[in-house]
Amino acid sequence: MKQDKVLRSQRIKDNSNAVAIAPYQALGVCGPIITHHRAAALDVLEPCPNMSEEDRLSAIHEVLQKYQKKLAERTNHHMGYPYNLDFDFGALEGLNKFSINNLGDPFIESNYGVHSREFEVGVLNWFARLWEIEQEEYWGYITNCGTEGNLHGILVGRENHPDGILYASRETHYSVFKAARMYRMDAEKVDTLESGEIDYEDLKARLAANSARPAIINVNIGTTVKGAVDDLDRVLDILTETGYTEDRFYIHCDGALFGMMMPFIKEAPMVSFKKPIGSVSVSGHKFVGAPVPCGVTITRMRYVMALSSDVEYLNSRDATIMGSRNGHAPIYLWYTLTLKGYEGIRQDVERCMRNAHILKVMLEQCGIKTMLNDLSNTVVFERPREEAFVRKWQLACEGDIAHVVVMPNITIDKLEEFVQDYVNSRARVSIAAAKRIASEARAAEASEGSDAEC
């Protein structure tokens, strides 16, 4: 439903609180202004005349020490977001001394020599093998995050099919519809099934209705909230049934979390460039884990030609979304993939899938309604009522559901602690409700008694 647009300045004027509470906030095109959870500022310390340089340095040191303690505590109580917080990059500490930047194309060196392209291309080759595409046929790069991979994949689709319509399910990550807005593409929000998968009947009907224009389809390899995997083979069948030949569609697979896990699950369907897909992207800081956000996107060389142009200033080619690119990220990814190897990652995946199942059974034993898709480590359950509990465990909530994504750093002990904490939280909420009813009843009884006296 389209709402009438109200200018940001007007909305701030209409809501006098907004300026005081969130003057800085990027306001959505629609919806209410968010006024809770305002972030605090740590002021930049100016040297002041009555403070010695030594005291100043020790004040700075103290701020950082306190912050590190907070990071450790927050890392220890994290359940909600799909980030692998278990890694040790101590061996790479010396790299902080360098401004490593892979600006431009990963495969063509620019004149800036402080780069990590050797690591980047090594990692890309690893992912190309994982998703089954020959080295000379793919193009890709290490992105800043899964979102950048989606922005790139959809852009490659759009540049190959300028008149194409974007199709994505309503449980798709918001970055995909953001891409449609940025590129001013027509987009169709396809219904979803209870599991969170795309509704195949609805997709088919929409494709049939728009058969005059090419289709750019986002296929989810694990949705953000329910961890649902869209059935790629079925989507391909639907394209055939509705008369779309390979030259009239483009498929981008958003595999932010699960795209990195599914290839390691024996009975799972394959995400593979042997099928007519255009691109796949993942987040690097999700399953692999990294101290900075990062991601990987892979597409076909023949598709990326549509958007690349040579840039003399770089002495390289411009086919990436960003200009300067994080040169540390490829080294983190290379290091982890090399250290663990294919088999190590497979074991991580297996343990996460098993632990997700264990969490589901534990919650069910405690009478908590739970859902876990077969191909997922995202355990969905009733949204906890205590906000403090949600904040303590950093749960991601949407509507009346919350989830825990069981990542490699989440041990069985941690799951046990979490379940115990959740049950206690529910008990507090129930007891408070019971007490409220009792005290209302007592008040009613008392007033009845006093009525009877007169």
Ligand X SMILES: *Cc1c(COP(=O)(O)O)cnc(C)c1O
Residue ranges binding ligand X (CB under 6 A): 145-147, 150, 173, 175, 220, 222-224, 254, 256-257, 283, 293, 295
Looking at beta carbons, which residue is closest to ligand X? Answer: 146
Exposure string for 164-181, b = 16+ CB within 10 A, e = fewer: bbbbbbebbbebbbebbe
Alpha-helical regions (H) of 38-190: 53-76, 117-130, 146-160, 174-182
Task: Give the C-alpha separation, 289 to 86, whole Å.
Answer: 7
Minimum distance, C-beta of residue 196 to ligand X, in the bound complex (Å): 10
Contact (Cβ atoms closer than 8 angstroms) between residue 299 and residue 279: yes
Q: Which is nearer to ligand X, 188 or 254 (CB)?
A: 254
Contact (Cβ atoms closer than 8 angstroms) between residue 218 and residue 176: yes
Minimum distance, C-beta of residue 219 to ligand X, in the bound complex (Å): 11
Q: How many CA atoms lie within 13 A of 294 on its CB side?
A: 24
What does residue 54 show for φ and ψ, rounded to 5 degrees?
-65, -45
Dihedral (CA of 436, 441, 446, 447) sign: positive
List, in order, residues 6 or more apart from 422 with CB less than 8 Å away: 363, 366, 368, 384, 389
Minimum distance, C-beta of residue 374 to ligand X, in the bound complex (Å): 17
Minimum distance, C-beta of residue 293 to ligand X, in the bound complex (Å): 6
Neighbours of 241 (CB within 10 A): 11
Q: Which is nearer to ligand X, 110 or 378 (CB)?
A: 378
Tokens 């309503």 appear where?
170
Q: Which is nearer to ligand X, 81 or 200 (CB)?
A: 81
What does residue 156 show for φ and ψ, rounded to 5 degrees?
-60, -40
Q: Which is nearer to ligand X, 193 or 429 (CB)?
A: 193
Minimum distance, C-beta of residue 191 to ligand X, in the bound complex (Å): 18
Task: Give the C-alpha separation, 296 to 273, whole Å.
Answer: 15
Task: Give the C-alpha separation, 303 to 451, whole Å.
Answer: 83
Is 376 a residue of the active site?
Answer: yes
List, in order, residues 6 or more apart from 384 with CB less than 8 Å away: 390, 395, 402, 422, 425, 426
Q: How far is CA 213 from CA 207, 267, 302, in A?
A: 9, 36, 21
Catalytic site residue from 116, 175, 376, 425? 376
Minimum distance, C-beta of residue 263 to ligand X, in the bound complex (Å): 16
Minimum distance, C-beta of residue 372 to ligand X, in the bound complex (Å): 16
Q: 200-209 and 232-241 are packed helices; what angle lies between their axes, rounded to 10 degrees?
A: 30
Minimum distance, C-beta of residue 38 to ligand X, in the bound complex (Å): 22
Q: Which is nearer to ligand X, 145 or 190 (CB)?
A: 145
List, in order, residues 6 or more apart from 42 with CB less than 8 Å away: 63
What does residue 252 show for φ and ψ, rounded to 5 degrees?
-105, 130
Q: Which residues are known to be catalytic?
A: 376
